A and B are shown apart, each in its own frame.
Chain A
Amino acid sequence: MEHGPQDAQSPLIYLNNAATTWPKPIEVLEEVAQCLRKPLYEPGRTTGNGSIDYPSAAREALAAFFHSGPPEHFVFTQNATDSLNLLIHGFAKKSGMPFHAITTDLEHNSVLRPLTSLEQDRTIRLTVVPFTDNTVNLAAIKEAICEETRLVVMTHGSNVLGSVQDIRPIAEYLHANGIFFIVDGAQTAGHIPLVFSDIPVGAFVFTGHKALFGIPGIGGFFISEPGAIAIIRQGGTGTDSRTFTHPFDMPMRFEAGTHNYPGIASLYAGIRFIMSTGQEAIEQKNMDLTRCFIRELRKIRGITIYNEHPDLPVVSFDIAGIDNHEAGFILARAYSVITRTGLHCAPLVHERIDGGKGCIRASFSYFNTHDECLAAAEAVGEVAESADSHIRSD
């Protein structure tokens, strides 16, 4: 019989928060339930009935959280990948002619694949800037810029190395030189305090289900220059319904069809949770756990840590003598420690750090505990110290 895995016998130690945070704050679960308990409400799509207008409330929460311009410049999508596709392909369509684009080898496939697709179509010529000391700085980007450069797409935080790029000088330089800058903030939104009124990014991409504590299926982007991106999705907006062309107004310009209201409600509640708990307090705990785990891993023979000093609560490592998929399987099924193994959708990073074979990644969140951190490290130690046994006949 085909079947899913048996229920874990001991409490889960969930260390895959860089993929999706779990558990969610109780406030998030309650807000989603509240959203679904009443008819959904959004002006233009239904008459008022006392329900919360979650899209507007969440845009305002996002604008306050990121200290940005108008809330209408926050656009909802399914996730960061969806946002990046919309922005990258929208920028290429708007440009209307071949151009040069720059990215880095820290990127996730959500950046690499849309750009590669454009490169294969000969819409762009692509330069991939290599990271140094786990980051990419302005000097490296400047070196890659040429006369035809119109676009830079770059991760804010590496999902493998947990390193955060200093985007402010890059954004300032690119803005001054008329180059559109898309920042992939999938790993940093919620972790790293950002003040968009101070950082002239073209667009900043986020997802709801990671450090913003929302549920999967909600993401978005902040855009400072909507005119730089062509409209590539058209449909119902609840406004301007007489016209057959999609409205240019924000945020409808990039949003067509019915929203993911439960997702937006979860994002709204997640941001409120961070703001009421304190982003600094959350990050202090995340990084204490991360440093604790690294300290414990250092004591184990046969462990290679690929990022000894991460800026984000992400630890990537390898256990000598055992394939990382096998190690992840054992950690999950024998020790109830959930990690992520393999290439983490970032193949170029792995080419640089481990020859492309992939690694094990443990990533922490506010709801992890010190005891979990120690127990997970102990489990890794047992796997690392295991040796092949003789098989007996029954």
Chain B
Amino acid sequence: MKEYVLDGPLTEGFLKFLENFGTVRFLEQLRKPYFSFEKELFISIKGFVGESNVEVRYNKEIQDLVGDYFHLLLYYYDQGERGISALKGQEDSTRDKMKIRLRPLPENGP
């Protein structure tokens, strides 16, 4: 788990962007508008719209493969629509590496 402080507050627009990549939950009527983002095997994010700090959790087994994913989300968000397809392409490549990493070892293997 890592806590990040961004250089600006999170917006609903960013949540809308996140919806392209995983499940977003948004509880607006709380004292602070809470959101969470879940992307299976990649990361989960928790935070509040209007605040600049977020909590990010990674899958421990493949942290080296997904450790940059949060930074990629921020980077491609700035690129608008083009960023969505670019990031999806990157995800496919990460998934291929995950498949190799998470593949069960053959029974008689080393």
Chain A positions near chain B (C-beta within 8 angstroms):
1-6, 326, 329-330, 333-335, 379, 382-383, 386-394
Contact = CB atoms under 8 A, between A and B. Distances in A.
Given A3-B53, A4-B3, A329-B55, A391 B16 contact: yes
Contacts of B4: 1-3
- What class of interface size applies to chain B in its complex with A? 20 to 34
A229 B52 CA distance: 54
Contact of A383 (B28, B30, B55): B30
Which 8 A-B residue pairings sit nearest by Cβ, starting from the closest? Answer: A394-B13, A389-B28, A334-B32, A3-B5, A386-B27, A334-B31, A391-B15, A389-B26
B31 A394 contact: no
Interface of B: 2-5, 11-13, 15-16, 19, 24-34, 36, 46, 48, 51, 53, 55
A330 B33 CA distance: 9
B22 to A, nearest CB: 13
Contact of A326 (B16, B33, B46, B53): B46
A6 B27 contact: no
B12 A394 contact: yes
Chain A facing B: main interface SS: loop
Contacts of A392: 12, 16
18 contacts: A2-B2, A3-B4, A5-B53, A6-B53, A334-B30, A334-B31, A335-B31, A379-B31, A386-B27, A388-B25, A388-B26, A389-B27, A389-B33, A391-B24, A391-B26, A392-B12, A392-B16, A393-B12
B13 to A, nearest CB: 3
Count chain B CB atoms within 10 A of each CB in A6, A329, A330, A391 and give the residue with the most. Answer: A391
Contact of A388 (B3, B12, B27, B55): B27
A6 B51 contact: yes
A115 B30 CA distance: 44
